[in-house]
Structure 1
């Protein structure tokens, strides 16, 4: 419901892209943008696709998923860093 800019595009090989998305949602779930957006008819929408995290951290998390190391880490929203569990 608003213009957006594509920052990065990732091609998935030998992996399920929906599973990648699910893992990213789980990993960054604590920094989901909490916002309500109203459309032209006044209907409220609460998007769950937007996260507050630096792009470099998102890229790092994707590498951890590819390497299967993501289970050893978590995202610290206050430090804006990926840290050991």
Structure 2
């Protein structure tokens, strides 16, 4: 786990950016909650940590809009 400090950003927009960038790598999984009900987590992605670091950097410098994540190559592509 890593921590990144992103200032002056709307949390909802930030979450939307991560979901948009990593949607192709969203984990397809159903688990049971503590009551036995099926739950499909939408916040879990199979993405290497170095790619997440790069996305954070690209959010900071504003260049994230030019890229998308390719799970086949595990890279950000332009």
Which of 15, 18, 21 is 2:12 aligned to?
Answer: 18
Q: Which structure has more helix as a fraction of its residues?
A: 2
Q: Does residue 1:55 correspond to 2:49, yes or no?
A: yes
Structure 2 CA distance for aligned equivalents of residues 11 and 18 of structure 1: 15
| TM-score, length of structure 1 as denominator length | 0.83
Distance 2:6 2:68 in 1: 22
RMSD: 1.1
Q: Which has the higher contact order (CA 8 A, sep 6+)?
A: 2
Please tell me whether residue 36 in structure 1 is matched to residue 30 in structure 2: yes
Q: TM-score, normalised by structure 2?
A: 0.90
Q: How many residues align?
A: 78
